[in-house]
Amino acid sequence: MLENSGDLKDAENTFNQGLAISQTTGDTYYLPRALDAPAELKAQTGQPDQAYALYKRAEGVIDGMLVRYPGAYGQSSLMSAMSDTYLGDFKLAASQNNVSAAFDAIEQARGRTVLDNMRDPAVATARTPAQREAESQISQIQNQLLDTNDPAQRSKLLVNLDAEEETLRWYTEALTPEQSQDATDSVSVKAAQAAILPDEAVLEYVLADPNSYCIAITHGDAQIVRLPAGKKQIEQLMSRYKSQVMAGRFAVQDATALYAALLKPIPNLLRLRQLVIVPDGVLNDLPFDALQRPDGQYVIRSHVISYAPSATVLCYLRNRHREHQPQMAFLGIGDVRYGMEPQPAQSGAKHTLMAFVAHGMYDISGDHLYALPETRQELMLASQALGDPKQTVLLLGTNASEAQFKSEPLCDFKIIHFAVHGLSTPSFPERDALVLGRDPHSTDDGLLQVREIAQLHLDADLVTLSACDTATGKLEGEEGTIGLVQAFLFAGARAVAASLWPVDDSSTEFLMAHFYTHLAQHQDEAAALRHAKLDYLKQKGTKPPIYWAPFVVVGDASKPINF
């Protein structure tokens, strides 16, 4: 590259020529990238004002493209492709310690798809007859996939599924005039501070090399903290940490190193008791409460931690006016009749299923779904903790079908709890699903998938996904992850509790029972989940993080639920 050789004048001329070609040809997709290069060059040559102007031009082009991308997955993929623009703008502002400009730059990208769909759910849920037909075809094909082990037939079905999904994607992303919308504005630092509680800090991470950053915001202060580790180093630590945790080890060295890289540099004034983490990149897979301080104690001992796709999404959730107030306390779905009993020699049915989930439903048939009989007890304990049985609906056994779930008045429930198998397909986030039962009198395939969840109408304070890997998803650059959690936020949930990795049955039952006991005591969701984990550590003794740390709560987890 010319800018690396020191010939900056030639580099600028070359970039300007490329920019002129992009503008002449009307190639808007590559125009932001053509603007990024000279912007970075201006920053390197001590011309920050010109660099800012170029980044803002690039961001304006991206906003124009987003207006034409109403489909959640087209929009999130576009944001992923354009992440370098926002990251470059952020790094320029951070180099000048301009907190407001740095915050504005990164917040334009973070959680953008979630925010746009929450702001205007009519756009997300509008469906034409052609869309409904494509959805019906997808359901039919997936029913056949679940029922066959024949390799030739499965191969043909997968080709047909790809075609139908592409058709649905085209219909979803084709705008009508009624669906046109302006680009969503992110909140300012001052607006974010107004929504932050007095004893709370929002820590928004930005991974970059040679150094990463954290924008630390409290009710009365905001700072850019330069972290000691860069993106590559943090990714290496995360890879090693997660492999150790998945092997059932304590991973003390890596948990301590991650604490030193991510939390220790935050000044004490900004490291208040309640932390809302806005993660970036691989940090979306990290339970911050399982990090270890230098004294050997877990962070959960000192802090209440929740997560948000962005500070803007957090503010939106806290300020959103809900016209309808749910009257029913709890809807629980579980004890699904999957068709195979757990093998006596194996323990942890949910964990056993992960061998299936890791390869994907699209590789083997649904006959490999093991039953989860312990989920009946999990749901009964959770509902009993909340008190009045008249305010509870349990869909168990043959009633735990996708068709029965969709027939319930979903907007009338304060809490919706799924104790089922989860299906994660990172390459195709729209295929992520909760595996419910199949009603023989319905054409539903039993897979409550992301695209279907986003079309639901919920007013729930909390949706709990007691299944494996439900907090994961496809990473879309600075946009964040897209998966089940984000789909339930689309649908109207205020907070979603989900898991970052395969969950153990016995510990899950314990955690969920105690979680709901603390919710019934009018603790907010973040505090209730923290106390459930502390109860587990107290009663079960020292246990590795794999047993107690996977569950996190995303969204606005700061309000008690009124039962």
pLDDT value at residue 75: 58
pLDDT the model gives residue 249: 95
Q: In the predicted model, what is the mean pLDDT of residues 495-522?
A: 94
Average pLDDT in the 302-306 region?
Answer: 97
Q: Answer yes or no: is pLDDT of 519 > 70.
A: yes
Q: How far is the C-alpha of 474 from the C-alpha of 472, rounded, in Å?
A: 7
**Arithmetic mean of pLDDT, 332-339:** 90
DSSP string, 520-560: HTT-BHHHHHHHHHHHHHHHH-S--HHHHSSEEEEE---SB
Q: Is the per-residue pLDDT at 345 higher than 60?
A: no
| Structural domain includes residue 42 | yes
Take residue 125 and report the two structure tokens written for it. 């849920």
Task: Please tell me the predicted confidence (pLDDT) of residue 140.
Answer: 87
pLDDT at 123 over 50: no
User: Do the beta carbons of residue 291 and residue 283 sit within 8 Å?
Assistant: no
Q: Which of 62, 88, 120 is the last residue of a domain?
A: 120
In-domain check, residue 376: yes
Closest by CA to 30, choosing from 72, 78, 77, is 78
Give phi and psi for 461, each to the nearest 5.
-70, -35
For 6, the domain range is 2-120
- Please, which residues bridge with residue 200 across strands? 274
Residues in contact with 285: Cβ distance below 8 Å, sequence separation at least 6, in sequence order = 238, 242, 472, 500, 501
**Secondary structure percentages of the chain, helix, strand, coil, to 5:** 55, 15, 35
Number of C-beta neighbours around residue 67 at 10 A = 15
What's the pLDDT score for residue 20?
A: 54
Question: Which contacts qualify for 227-235: CB closer than 8 Å, 24 or more apart?
Answer: 227/261, 227/262, 227/265, 228/260, 228/261, 228/265, 229/261, 231/207, 231/281, 233/261, 234/207, 234/258, 234/261, 234/262, 234/281, 234/282, 234/283, 235/207, 235/281, 235/282
Flag whether 9 is in a domain: yes
User: Average of pLDDT values for 244-262?
Assistant: 97
Give me the pLDDT at residue 356, please.
33
* Tens-digit pLDDT profile for residues 367-415: 456 788 889 999 999 999 998 888 999 999 999 999 999 999 999 999 9
- CATH number, domain with residue 440: 3.40.50
pTM of the model: 0.87
Specify which residues 108 forms β-bridges with: none
In-domain check, residue 370: yes
Contacts of 292 (CB under 8 A, 6+ apart): 252, 255, 256, 259, 298, 299
Both tokens of residue 13? 């001329």
Residue 25 scores a pLDDT above 50: no
- Least Cα distance to 487 among 438, 555, 549 occurs for 555
Spatial separation of the C-alpha atoms in residues 15 and 11, rounded to whole Å: 6
Six token digits for residue 168: 């649905």
C-beta separation of 230 from 237 below 8 A? no
Asked if residue 355 belongs to a domain, the reply is yes
pLDDT, tens digit, 9 for 90 and up, residues 176-193: 444 444 455 789 999 999
Choose between 320 and 131: higher pLDDT: 320
Quick one: pLDDT at residue 10? 54
DSSP state of 182: P
CA distances (Å), origin 372, targets 103, 351, 497, 536 = 45, 11, 20, 22
Token couple for 467: 């299944």
Does the residue 457 lie in any domain? yes
Above 70 in pLDDT, residue 79?
no
- The band of 230, judged by pLDDT with boundaries at 50, 70 and 90, is very high
Tens-digit pLDDT profile for residues 261-286:
999 999 988 889 999 999 999 999 99
421-473 pLDDT, tens digit each? 888 877 777 788 999 999 988 889 999 999 899 889 999 999 999 988 889 88
For tokens 């304990």, what's the residue? 381
What are the angstrom distances between the C-alpha of 81 and each of 15, 37, 74, 75, 255? 19, 15, 11, 10, 31
Is the pLDDT score of 134 beyond 50? yes
In a domain, 467, yes or no: yes
Q: What is the pLDDT of residue 13?
A: 57
pLDDT at 251: 96
Write down the pLDDT at residue 138.
85
Give the residue ranges of DSSP H helices in 148-251: 151-173, 189-195, 231-246
Kindly indicate the confidence band of residue 15, based on its pLDDT and cuts at 50, 70 and 90. low
pLDDT in tens, 315-331: 999 999 887 889 999 99
CA dist 414 and 83 (Å) reads 36
| Residue-level pLDDT at 293 | 96
What is the number of structural domains in the chain? 2
Task: Write down which residue in 81, 97, 120 finishes a domain.
Answer: 120
State CA 470 to chain mean position distance.
Answer: 9
Last residue of a domain, which of 120, 141, 172?
120
pLDDT, tens digit, for every residue of 154-170?
888 888 887 887 777 65
Chain centroid offset of residue 451 CA: 14
Residue 301 lies in a domain: no
Rounded mean pLDDT of the chain? 84
Backbone φ, ψ for residue 200 (5° rounding) = -125, 150
